Each structure stands twice: as C-alpha cells, then as structure tokens.
Amino acid sequence: MKLSEIVERVGGELRGDGSIEITGVAGIREAQKGDITFLADHRYEAFLASTRASAVILAKNGDLGDIDKAVVVVNENPYVAFLRAIEIFSPRDHDDPRGVHPTAVIGEGVELGERITIGPHAVVEDHCKIGAGTRILAGSYIGFRSQVGADCMIFPNVTVREDSAIGDRVIIHSGTVVGSDGFGFATTGGKHTKIPQIGRVVIDDDVEIGSNVSIDRATTGITHIQSGTKIDNLVQIAHNVVIGKNSLIVAQVGISGSTEIGSNVTLAGQAGLVGHIKIGDNVQVAAQSGVVKSVPANTQVSGFPAREHSVSRRIWAAIAKLPDLAKTIKRLSKRVDALEKQLDSESISQ
C-alpha cells in the first residue's frame, strides 16, 4: 500500500514521498525497509536517525531534524495513528469461517444473530442470545440464559457461566471465567458453610478482558464491569464488585468483594484491594499497593498500606537512610555510654 493511502486512513500531514510502498508496521528499533513506525516517547529519539523504517509517524510539534526518509506528521498522539496503521495491516476480521461448526453444541431456544461463528466443540446452552457478527471460538462455553452482544470476540476455552450478560464489541481472551461463584462462606463452629451465589455478571460494551481472568458472580445483584474498561491477564474480580467506565486493571490485580471502583481508574500490576471500599474517579494505584480503605477521586496512592504517593515517597526516602541512621545511633550510643561512665566516676569521686 502506498504511504499516501495510509496517511488518508490514519490522518495527518504527509511530508516526503507518498508513492513509497509500505508493507508492514514495526517498532522503531526493529523496523525494516517497507515498514512504517512511530515515535511518541522522547526516550526513543536516539533511534530516529538509525531506524530502517521507510516512514515515521511523529507528533505535529516533533523535531524532524535531518531525517532521510518519508515522515508522516500527525496532529494527535502518534501512538494512536500507529494503532490505526496496525489495523490496516492486521485487520481484526479473523479468517475463521462463519457459521456453526458441526461439533458445536447449541441448546434449545438459542437466538443466533447474523454472521456469527461458533467454533469446534463450543457449547451454547439453552435460551442464550448471541448477537450479530460475534465469534465464539473452539472449546468455549456460554451458560444457560446468557447473552452475548454483537461483534464480540470470545477466544478459545472461555467460560461464560449462566445468566451472564455481555455487551457489544467485547473481547475475552482464552482461559477467562465469567460468572464463577463468589468466595462466600459463613463460618460457624469452626466450619465454613457455602453461601449460595445467585447473582450474575454484567459486562458493558467495548470491554476487553485478558487471559485467565476470574470475574465472580454476585452473591445477589450483579458484578458490573462498565463500558470501555480494559482488564489485563490474571486478574481476580470478586463478587459484587463494580468497575466504572474506561478503567485500566493491570495484571495480577486482586479486587475483594463489594468494592466499588470509579471511572478512569488505573490499578497497576499486583495491586490488592480489600472489600467494601470505594475508589473514586481518576484514581491511580501504583504497582503492588495494598489499598485498605477508600480513596477519594483524583488521587495517586502507593505502598502498603496505600497512602498518597507523595507521602509514600517521603517514607521510602527515609527508609533508604535507615542503614546510615543505624550507624549514627550506634555511634551516639557509644558516646552516651562513655559519658554516663564518666559521670558515674565523677560522682563516686565526690
């Protein structure tokens, strides 16, 4: 595809030879002739002169310097434009055939939309509804009376338990379980009795869920993932959790039951949240933080227990000085001991 045609689709201003043939996309370090790449982070500016890419996407205010290749100048984040270029060369429309595979099991009263794919050995239980254009790939399971919206991608070996509701354009990667029982037990006399989990999971439009994620059904009511939220691999979301719109939940995060998370929240890797707290909108929780109480909106927290990030940084700075402080205390203790002995000897002599 000619570079000029790519610019028409991704947007921006072309500076250079628009007739160059572009055959693929790649990062700035590994790009070869025929590739289009991008520069969005100043830390990679050193690779701009050495990259073998035939074209580079830069920000409008980027320093073009003496670049000996075609350059695409965009008015927005170059990374966003690069994502559009990726879609040109790696379209989301997979090659899997449309229709129901002969080995798939379709229950009674199932409603299947147009242009759907039900892959080998997939199971769709009774009274489910699958929206138009949705793909349910090999070995996946859609439980009784569940709904999956339009244009969804359910990768192989996904489990969607009974009565779950999934919106449009949702992507769920392999190994994920939606609607497993919540971890609810009543302890009496040293024995743990299971509390029936009769709620369900609701996932709104444009959510993406990584591999091996567990989203538990509510005890009663719903566990709710709102539109635009993206969930990384290996995340645990407990019963009755609510996650607001456009939030980012990074790998190995654990969210305990009945916690409410606002919109545009970022939970970085391995953060852990206790149950029954509220996280306000636009909160950022640093990696490996332990959140033990509610966090107001527009706050950055880190550490264990999680505190405002500025406070945590001062604590870490103080901790870094502890070895020197220990030496100082040891030295001062010796001086105090010497002074005490001197005072004792003077008092005896008097």
Residues labelled catalytic: 239
What SS3 class is residue 86? helix
Output Rg (C-alpha) for the chain, integer angstroms.
28
Q: With contact defined as beta carbons under 8 Å apart, do 190 and 206 qualify?
A: no
**One-letter identity of residue 219:** T
Show the tokens assigned to 271: 């953060």
Exposure of 96 in the CB half-sphere (CA atoms within 13 A): 21
Task: Please tell me what DSSP assigns to residue 293.
Answer: S
**Minimal CA–CA distance to 259: which of 216, 308, 206, 209?**
216
**Minimal CA–CA distance to 54: which of 6, 11, 88, 87?**
6
276, β-bridge pairs: none
Residue with tokens 């407990």: 238
